[in-house]
Amino acid sequence: MSAPALPTVPLGRALLVNGLLAFVAGYVDVVGFVALAGLFTAHVTGNFVLIGAGLAAQSAAGIIGKLLALPTFVIAVAATRLAVLSLERGGRSALRPLIAAELVFLALFMAVGLVARPVTSADAPIAIIAGLIGVAAMAIQNAKGRLILANHAPTTIMTGNTTQVVIDIVDLLRSGTADRDAVRARLVRMAPALVIFAVGALLGALGYAVSSFWCLLVPIAALTVLVVTTPAPAGGS
């Protein structure tokens, strides 16, 4: 017997959640990149490009953390999927629990990052642990986007969003485009996340320059708002 479908997230609510999550992803990705020798916490596949670049330059700085990022990401996504399936079986919404789990991992990322200061080597064990905790937080967000907000824009990797936004803008400018309402609706879902991610990235760079890992209090606050304002899961035990 298949698990029951998750409740549909209303459009307005989904746009709010997506916007704040896009901000968090842009912010945290930049903090990890700046603080930990170019470690991507959200865009994990980008780490392989940096590994190749480092090897080509005969530099091994930060390679251990980047190599461990993908298996950490995979484990965290798998655990998230199992958690969602468990909640589904009880007829419960997974949105709030997953936001809360991401909040916990992001707070741990900040705490371990503060202990690791000053990060003089991205290959130091404490720095690697901090980075992998950040990867786990963003893995939960990646999985959440696929499992709960699948009809809305991804919040962690913007290449696909950028491509679709450009295509839709071109189509709207063409006089012969059919189904313009569908194109506009897709733009409403895609464009805000793209812009907000960029804003988060800029503020993340500025925040880290000013206050080191303490700057993660900003995305932590954003997730706290989402936890508080998202209805608690209801359903059977």
Average pLDDT over residues 226-234: 79
The confidence score (pLDDT) of residue 6 equals 41
DSSP-assigned letter for residue 215: G
Q: What angle is formed at CA 7 by the lines to CA 3 and CA 13, rounded to 5 degrees?
A: 150
**If you average pLDDT over every residue of the chain, what do you get?**
86
pLDDT of residue 24: 96
DSSP class of 174: S
Q: Given this model, what pLDDT does residue 77 score?
A: 95
CA–CA distance, 148 with 171 (Å, rounded to integer): 28
Nearest-angstrom CA–CA distance, 237 and 100: 19
CA–CA separation, 143 and 148 (whole Å): 8
CA distance 32 to 54: 17
pLDDT at res. 51: 82
Kindly list the distances between the CA atom of residue 236 and the CA atoms of 3, 79, 81, 87, 88, in Å, as whole numbers in the listed order. 13, 21, 19, 9, 10
User: Which residue is associated with the tokens 């059919």?
Assistant: 178
The string of pLDDT tens digits covering residues 43-86 is: 888 888 878 877 777 676 778 888 999 999 999 999 999 999 99
Across 191-206, b (16+ Cβ under 10 Å) vs e yields bbbbbbbeebbebbbe
- Angle, in degrees to the nearest 10, between helices 217-229 and 180-211: 130
Please tell me the chain's helix, strand, coil percentages from 3-state DSSP, rounded to the nearest 5.
75, 0, 25
In the chain, what are the domain boundaries?
11-156+200-229
pTM for the predicted model, two decimal places: 0.86
Geometric angle at alpha carbon 138, from 22 and 120, rounded to 5°:
110
User: Measured between alpha carbons, how far is 120 from 36 in angstroms, rounded to an integer?
Assistant: 9
Q: How far apart are CA 65 and CA 220, in angstroms?
A: 23
pLDDT in tens, 190-211: 888 899 999 999 999 999 999 9
DSSP-derived letter for residue 151 is T
Mean pLDDT, range 134-160, rounded to an integer: 87
Report whether pLDDT(182) > 90. Answer: no
Residue with tokens 């990060």: 119
Rounded Cα distance, 5 and 141, in Å: 19
Q: What is the predicted pLDDT for the residue at 180? A: 82
More reliable by pLDDT, 107 or 185: 107
Q: At 174, is the pLDDT very low, low, confident or very high (cuts 50, 70, 90)?
A: confident
Kindly report the length of the chain.
Answer: 237
